Amino acid sequence: MVDRLYHFVGGARVEGRSGRFAPVFTPMTGEISAEVPLASAAELADAVANAKAAQPAWAATNPQKRARVLMKFLELLNRDFDKLALKLALEHGKTIPDAKGDIQRGLEVVEFAIGIPHLLKGEFTEGAGPGIDMYSMRQPLGVVAGITPFNFPAMIPMWKFAPAIACGNAFILKPSERDPSVPLLLAELMAEAGLPKGILNVVNGDKEVVDAILDHPDIKAVGFVGSTPIGEYIYSRGTANGKRVQAFGGAKNHALIMPDADMDQVVDALIGAGYGSAGERCMAISVAVPVGQKTADILVDRLASRVRTLKVGPSTDPTADFGPVVTRQHLDKIKAYVDIGIQEGAELVVDGRELTLQGYENGFYMGGVLFDRVTPEMRIYKEEIFGPVLCVARADDYEAALALPNDHEYGNGVAIFTRDGDTARDFAARVDVGMVGINVPIPVPLAYYTFGGWKRSSFGDLNQHGPDSVRFYTKTKTVTSRWPSGIRDGASFVIPTMG
């Protein structure tokens, strides 16, 4: 039985009216599990009108009361944690333990957002001038929106809506149409937690609704996570319409391995960071850069034996290292990149393309792939594959290794493995990448820091979560105050100063 999904608007489930639907698959079997409605611009406009009507009262609610709704949401999230993780795994394809990590990292940003009343405090200067006080305050933007990707259907929606709502905004969420069920369930939990109707709305759709979000005059800010071409499009169109936009795009994350590194730690790190979640992570390590030929030979030999023994299984298998990828189309794309790598002259050390699982022959499975002797002019080096493919790009020395992430068009995440503190400090200072790990393969900052890449991995001035999220979802108002004291200075025709 194929379920018919819905939108969530004004605190209630709303059936799609456009007549257009997209299939939602169960990746481990290849079967269609649901149909999701694809909204029209008119349906988006209805959701925005609902949000706009509800937002002023929410903004006028004091920050502590707003935070209490998020506290209740956390309680409900923990109550339903296992149910949400199972639904997420079945629709996305990642294993249940990995799905739980997806939810947990989103939950941590909700915890951060509960403390936003502290970050909403403005500044105050008494006696800034004769009888003059000056202060600032942060106020919500109004209606804001988030366009989120398939690979983290719980985490990234929470990264977006929790800070925005805590700051007093109303939120329109457009999740991926590939795995929309968990975002819908999150909105229902927020309503159960006491969030007023209309403050969090979920509108499913494709490019038509994305363009409607970017063009709607009442949406003041848009956050996006996805590929670089789409991120650039969203940033250009959104800002052209006067919106505040943060758009996070693709990645090609490097890990430098110095000759003095702990090779046991390195191999474990690369196996987990390169192949976890079938490589469908924007912070996955996709390029290993061993420094020196001896280091490279040792690394490739040890990686190859581990990649060959990776256990790929259905999402519900508790012993699987990773599960299927999200769709058949994406599986075909990853396999095509392997073909390209072979044609370009890279050495295919481990080939996982022919993996099949008994009883799951129609699932979207692929084994781990390992390439050696990958060079910067190859497409498999330059482009984001977003699958269980790890490329080894050898470097003769540290400077040559450092040049690889510095010269790449993407600058999302990077790591170095070394026992030498001086090398690590130099790397952290000089690498042209937004998030850096030192003996840490996936350097995703904690919720109270900010997440964001550099170069063509990010468009916009402000990052996700942490203090930047408060800056992004609020505007600053500065007040200069003077109360009559019986002193009159007469009219002045020069610019005011406080001297």
Q: How many angstroms separate the CA atoms of 94 and 85, rounded?
A: 10
What does DSSP assign to residue 446? P
Task: Tell whether the torsion through CA atoms of 33, 324, 393 and 411 is positive or negative.
Answer: positive
- HSE, CB side, 13 Å, CA atoms: give it for residue 158: 27
The residue assigned the tokens 């009559």 is 484
Strand ordering across the sheet containing 124-129: 124-129, 132-140, 474-482
Distance from the Cα of residue 486 to its chain's centroid: 57
Beta strands (DSSP E) in 275-411 are 285-290, 347-350, 369-372, 389-392, 410-411
Asked if 261 and 367 count as a contact pair (C-beta separation under 8 A), the reply is no
Q: How many angstroms separate the CA atoms of 411 and 128, rounded?
A: 43
Q: Is 282 labeled as catalytic in the residue annotation?
A: yes
Selecting among 166, 189, 251, 282, the annotated active-site residue is 282
One-character DSSP codes across 152-212: -TTHHHHHHHHHHHHTT-EEEEE--TTS-HHHHHHHHHHHHTTPPTTSEEE---SHHHHHH
Q: How many angstroms separate the CA atoms of 59 and 86, rounded?
A: 35
Which active-site residues does the annotation give?
A: 282
